[in-house]
Amino acid sequence: MEKQKKIIILLEVLLIFFVGLLVVRLILVNKSLNRDENINEDSNKLSLDEPLILTSDPWLGINNSEITIILFESFSCSYCRDLQPSLKYILDKYRDRIKIVWKDFTGTYDPRGLSAAVAARCAQVQGKFWEFHDNVFANQSNLGSSLYLEIAQNLNLDIARFNSCYENQGTLSLITNSFAEARALGVEATPTLYINNEKVEGLLSQDEFDYIINQL
C-alpha cells in the first residue's frame, strides 16, 4: 500500500513537471510568433513622399508637361463630381502646359465607388476611360451595373469583352494598387490633389486653381 502511494506521488510529480515544460514551450512559441508578426508588419509598411505616375494611370493633356495634377478620387464622392467643371476649365485654359492624372481612391468600404472604378477601368482597356468617367459622374445618383452597361453600349464598347472584364473584376488590381499608393502617401479623403507634387485637399474653384497655377 505504501509502495503504491509513492508510485502515485511520483507520477503526479512527473505529470506536473511535463505540464510545466509544455506551458513554458507554448509561451516561448507565442513570443516567437508575435515577434515574427511584428517583423512582417514592419516589412509591409510603405511610405511615399510623392505620388507615382504609372503607365496604367489614365491621363489627359500633354505628356511632358509644365504642370502635373494627380487626382485621388472616387466615383461615389460628390465633391469629386463637383470638381469636374474646374478640371475641364483648367485643362482648356492651360492645355499646352498641363497633364491631369487619375488615381482611384476607393475600397471595399465604398462598394458603389469600387464597382464604378472597376467598370471605368474596364472601359479604359478599350480606350474609353475618360468618356466613361464623364458619364459616371454625370449619373452619380444611379451608380450600378445597369448604368455601366448602358454607358458601355452608348460608347460602342465591345459589350461581351466589357461584361467579362467587369464581372470577373479584371481591373481590380489597378484599383487596389492605386489605393495602396494613396495610403502610403497619407491620403485620407477625396478629392486629394497633387499639383506638381504639392498636396491639396478638397474641392477647388476655378479661381483657386488659377491662383495655385500662377504661383508655380
Give the mean model confidence (pLDDT) for residues 191-208.
97
3-state secondary structure of 194: strand
Tally of CA atoms within 13 A in the half-sphere of 140 that contains its CB: 15
pLDDT value of position 46: 75
63 and 158: one domain? yes
Q: What is the mean pLDDT of the chain?
A: 85
Average pLDDT over residues 185-208: 97
pLDDT, greater one: 104 or 14? 104
Same-domain pairing of 128 and 209: yes
Measured distance CA(179)–CA(62) in Å, rounded: 25
The model's pTM: 0.78
Average pLDDT over residues 75-101: 97
The helix (run of H) or strand (run of E) holding residue 91 is helix 78-93
pLDDT for the residue 27: 37
Residue 203 is assigned to a structural domain of this protein: yes
The answer on 126 and 96 residing in a single domain is: yes
For the cut 70, the answer to whether the pLDDT of residue 16 exceeds it is no
15 is in which domain, residue-wise? 1-44
Q: Lowest mean pLDDT: which of 23-27, 35-39, 173-177, 196-200?
A: 35-39
Q: Do residues 113 and 186 both lie within one domain?
A: yes
135 in any annotated domain: yes
Strand partners, 67: 98
> What is the model's pLDDT at position 7?
47
For the stretch 56-79, pLDDT in tens is 999 999 999 999 999 999 999 999
The verdict on residue 96 lying in a domain is yes
Q: What is the pLDDT of residue 81?
A: 98
Q: Are residues 125 and 165 in the same domain?
A: yes
User: What pLDDT was estimated at residue 146?
Assistant: 98
Binned at pLDDT 50, 70 and 90, residue 45 comes out as low
The Cα–Cα gap between 3 and 50 comes to 79
Residue 2: band (very low, low, confident or very high) from pLDDT cuts 50, 70, 90:
low
Please count the residues of the chain: 216
pLDDT in tens, 130-182: 999 999 999 999 999 999 999 999 999 999 999 999 999 999 999 999 999 99
User: Do 76 and 172 belong together in one domain?
Assistant: yes
Pairing relation of β-strands 67-73 and 98-104? parallel
Q: Does residue 124 share a domain with residue 68?
A: yes
**Cβ-based neighbours of 52, under 8 Å, separated by 6 or more:** 181
pLDDT at 4 over 60: no
